[in-house]
Structure 1
Amino acid sequence: MSSRTRWWALFVLSLTQLVVVLDGTIVNIALPQAQADLGLTDGQRQWVITAYALAFGALLLLGGRIADYWGRKRTFMVGMIGFGLASVYGGLAQNGIELIIARGLQGAFAAMLAPAALALLTVTFPSGRDRNTAFAVFGTIAGAGAAVGLLLGGVLTEFADWRWCLLVNVFFVIVGVIGALLFLTESKAEGDNKYDLVGAVVVILGLGSLVYGFSLAEAGWGRLDTVGFLVLGVILLALFVWIESRVAQPLLPLRIVADKVRGGAFLIQAVAGSVMIGATLYLTLHLQIVMQMSALMSGLASLPLTAAIMIVAPFATKLLPRIGPRPLLIAGPLFVSVALLYLSRITADGSYAVQVLPGLIVMGVGMAMIFVPLQNLALAGVAPHDAGAASATANSAMQIGGSIGLSVFTAVYISAVGEASPTDLAALADGYGATFVVAAIGMVVASGIAIGLIRGDKSVLLPDSSQPVLAHA
């Protein structure tokens, strides 16, 4: 593949990753309008978000193995087309059940699309400086996707209709399919490729049970159904690990997550996902409900977060080969934590310029420092046979982290608000502030993970000439 074709391939893969991530948040701003239009209950409103993240996160490992065994380009194409059809179905939904089903289908096809895209990136840029740059670009765009979703959702809701927050995906699908035909090369794992169906069923049920249990926590952590689903999820995931250690062709080869550095990167990705997906939702609610911003103004108000990520990312990319990923992954979460603690001081009568804007800028700086090295580090040293599975694990960490984070933040918010009236804006602001404090604690933990697990000289963590990852047609 020529150098020019490789960079066009990066554009296609990054664009499709953007739509997968932004679809986790683009409907957030549109939810009030969709709820009124379709007559959604509050429970259905929550499931419009949860259905996407749950299907995406639970099916990612299976999607990664399908990409490895069936062909990454082929899986990418099917995932892209299916994602587009599910988006049209959701955009034309006539009731809440149809919308929730459409969101679940989006998540299922995204679970094929996302690991295939990241695996294709891995084999397209096998080593060296170009690989570092490509992963930095890909990670930055993926990291900014949640914030871009808020802005795009605001624009579409204000000037068109909430349905266009789903129908707009057709544009991305058309570009992705054409780009894949022109610039992507097929690759797949060689050798004996047998699907681990038992492991697939167990991990899907385990992750699904865990995420669903956290979604029930908003009604109370001590409830029997909440505890039951959480415990069941943990038991099933433990069973999955046992199964994977004994089958010949595991769905998730344990060598992928056993590596201390790679495992640390996955954990940091989970925490970062919880903040980008969960905390940004409550920021949106504060802007719209407490500060009385329109959907468009709320989207524009979130733009500094995206702008800061995009401005700082090139500098972090240049800094990465000089200092290595460890300092960035230690400092980045601390920047985000400081920003979240600043945002936790929001009040009902406070101004955007004083109470919100500085926090968004600092958060963007920190997120850029996290996302630039993270994807590269998570996939460094992965064998060609495992590219799809490792890519799926990286994506799954962010999506499951986002799902759990959203559920935890919701439980914290409900606990903080208590019996306050929905019109008590001061109480609502206090509830949103409480979620930001919990998110800040999570980012401090992420920095601690980097200190404890992301160890080694930069030449070890990010070699300039690592073992190439070869594509096998």
Structure 2
Amino acid sequence: MNLEPAQLQWIMSAYPLSSGCLFLVCGRLADVYGRKRTFSIGSLFLAIFTLACGFSKDVITLDILRGIQGIGAAATIPASLGILAHAFPPSRARSLAFATFSAGAPVGAVFGTALGGVLTEFTHKTWRSSFYLLSAFTFLCFVGGLISIDNDVPSEEVDKRVDWLGAFLVTAGLVLIVFVLSQGEIAPQGWATPYIIALLILGVILMGLFKIHNNPDSPFSLFTPPPLMKLSLWTRANGRIAAMMMIAFTNWCAFLSWTFWVQLYFQNYMHYTAMQTVVRLLPMFVSGVLCNAVVGLMAAHIPIVWIVAVGAAATTIACLLFAIIVPATTYWAYAFVASVASVMGADLVFSAGTLFIAKFALPHEQSVAGALFNTMTQLGTAVGVTVTTVVFNRVGTKVAPGGDMLRMYRAAQWTAFAFGIIATTLGIVFFRGVGVVGHRAPKPTSVGDPEDEEEEKDEKFKVPPFDDSVMVRDGDGDGDVTRSTTQVSSSPEHMDKLGV
């Protein structure tokens, strides 16, 4: 298929949009009905529809299948995070486990891109071969999960119902809003097109209804199942959970936009082949693996503000380099440095973010918490590509036919750069002075030893949610969270009363 950027946008966005919108309900299903079961069903579903994508005959069919394909990812990813959080209590092993999970993104992305480039260029089936191969790999994940993952532990929740109405409201609302963002620029009358205005209003209304419907204080009845997520989750750690979610969203807007437009720049503007493009992006693989190794080994020693802010800043710099790139210069001047830096935001933020989220999530909501974090990353993917495509097209209207399209690619990267600036700023403002996110065993010290006080200062966010002690705010407004010395019930109701 020879497709325009506007058509490629939906092939790119359909998968993360559907998965991002369904993460919450699938996370709830995993927490209530079993994480291994949800992972197994999701991976099998993903394998089937990945294979189906390889048989699509036109772009519309491929768009639809990509959207359905995302449902499988929506089931597997939250379940995976819940499995890790349950299997690894707060420890260095947990940091390594989450870092290894996060390392799958750069390893899988580069490995898949490289194989996709080889198959596209050297096989008769071209791009279809990539879907055939990825389907086989996904099926192997299904088989491996059945063999290696421990059996599910029954949920302790009394009310195991799923809020299907809430799932519909949030899914439909997000789909409509992102659809409007992507189509408003190319609709018959632009943003003034009646159906664009109507769908935007409807999407906002549905999101508002979800907010009203998702009320944890509603009295128990047949028509009020437990909410998909408790809104109190956003306020944990003095609102820093919400800040981490927004950092993930804006960072992914920048990173995936960078990736999308860099590939098009190499292939459509520089006229490189698929393999030549893959080779130029290989530094992302090495950089991504190293970033996750740093988090896994040093999360207990490096304050989270450095991990998050440096990662987001690196992705921002990558966007800047392609916003000012001079095509005539050597690859090593701009593109190589950008390829090394671009993935740092995705991997450092994802690794540290999942550790931070897991630390403040209750045992029975680990999958939901992981689902919410991944929802923000996937929506960042869809929104970032959508918004930068709008900018690309708008600038394109000012370029004369046959003119230099470099302005269009630069404008898209400047937009991605703006998203990166927001992510970096949020990381510095909200996580300055927070301390480390990894688990560090306390050193044996004498009473009153200054080292003991320093250890306590560094570990002020070290509050495992898996024992009988609870997280309480100190009330002095400095944002510290300390461990209570009184052993109390760790039931969800008691934790909610404490505002945890």
Residue 251 of structure 1 pairs with residue 228 of structure 2: yes
Are the equivalent residues in 1 in contact too, given 2:255–2:416 (CA < 8 A)? no
Residue 66 of structure 1 pairs with residue 36 of structure 2: no
Q: Point out where structure 2 has 5 or more consecutive residues left out of the alignment.
A: 219-223, 437-457, 469-500
Q: Partner of 2:129 in structure 1?
A: 164
Q: Partner of 1:196 in structure 2?
A: 163
Deviations 1:35-94 (A, max 9, x none): 24xxx6776543322322222122221111111222111111111111111011111222
- One-letter code aligned to 1:165: S
The within-5 A match list for 1:171-250 is 171-185=136-150, 186-191=152-157, 192-219=159-186, 220-221=190-191, 223-245=193-215, 246=218, 247-250=224-227
Are the equivalent residues in 1 in contact too, given 2:361–2:465 (CA < 8 A)? no
Q: How many residues align?
A: 430
Are the equivalent residues in 2 in contact too, given 1:52–1:106 (CA < 8 A)? yes
Residue 398 of structure 1 pairs with residue 364 of structure 2: no
Q: 2: distance between equivalents of 1:188 and 1:221?
A: 50
Residue 85 of structure 1 pairs with residue 37 of structure 2: no
The CA deviation at 1:253 is 1.6
- One-letter code aligned to 1:414: N
Residue 354 of structure 1 pairs with residue 329 of structure 2: no
Deviations 1:137-188 (A, max 9, x none): 2223235654554333322211222002211122322321222122112235
Q: Partner of 1:17 in structure 2?
A: none
The CA deviation at 1:123 is 0.9
Deviations 1:354-389 (A, max 9, x none): 231122223234444333312111222211221221
With over 3 angstroms needed to count, the CA separation of the structure-2 counterparts of 1:207 and 1:165, relative to structure 1, is same
Q: Point out where structure 1 has 5 or more consecutive residues left out of the alignment.
A: 1-34
Q: Partner of 1:457 in structure 2?
A: 435
Residue 76 of structure 1 pairs with residue 39 of structure 2: yes
Worse-superposed segment, 230-239 or 433-442: 230-239
**Higher share in helix:** 1
Q: Partner of 2:261 in structure 1?
A: 282
Residue 261 of structure 1 pairs with residue 259 of structure 2: no
Question: SS of the counterpart of 2:314?
Answer: helix
Question: SS of the counterpart of 1:218?
Answer: coil
Are the equivalent residues in 2 in contact too, given 1:72–1:188 (CA < 8 A)? no
Are the equivalent residues in 2 in contact too, given 1:44–1:100 (CA < 8 A)? no
- One-letter code aligned to 1:257: W
Are the equivalent residues in 2 in contact too, given 1:266–1:378 (CA < 8 A)? no
- One-letter code aligned to 1:187: V
With over 3 angstroms needed to count, the CA separation of the structure-2 counterparts of 1:269 and 1:123, relative to structure 1, is same
Are the equivalent residues in 2 in contact too, given 1:381–1:467 (CA < 8 A)? yes
With over 3 angstroms needed to count, the CA separation of the structure-2 counterparts of 1:242 and 1:325, relative to structure 1, is same
Q: 2: distance between equivalents of 1:316 and 1:231?
A: 42
Query: Structure 2 length as normaliser, TM-score?
Result: 0.80
Question: SS of the counterpart of 1:457?
Answer: coil
Are the equivalent residues in 1 in contact too, given 2:240–2:430 (CA < 8 A)? yes
Residue 116 of structure 1 pairs with residue 79 of structure 2: yes
Q: Partner of 2:16 in structure 1?
A: 53
Q: 1: distance between equivalents of 2:7 and 2:269?
A: 23
Are the equivalent residues in 2 in contact too, given 1:147–1:280 (CA < 8 A)? no
Q: 1: distance between equivalents of 2:154 and 2:134?
A: 27
With over 3 angstroms needed to count, the CA separation of the structure-2 counterparts of 1:144 and 1:404, relative to structure 1, is farther
Q: Partner of 1:310 in structure 2?
A: 289
Q: Partner of 1:12 in structure 2?
A: none
With over 3 angstroms needed to count, the CA separation of the structure-2 counterparts of 1:41 and 1:324, relative to structure 1, is closer
Question: SS of the counterpart of 1:321?
Answer: coil
Q: 2: distance between equivalents of 1:169 and 1:53?
A: 16
Q: 2: distance between equivalents of 1:189 and 1:61?
A: 17
Q: Partner of 1:322 in structure 2?
A: 301
- One-letter code aligned to 2:431: I
Question: SS of the counterpart of 1:249?
Answer: coil
Are the equivalent residues in 2 in contact too, given 1:139–1:374 (CA < 8 A)? no
The structure having more radius of gyration, on CA atoms, is 2
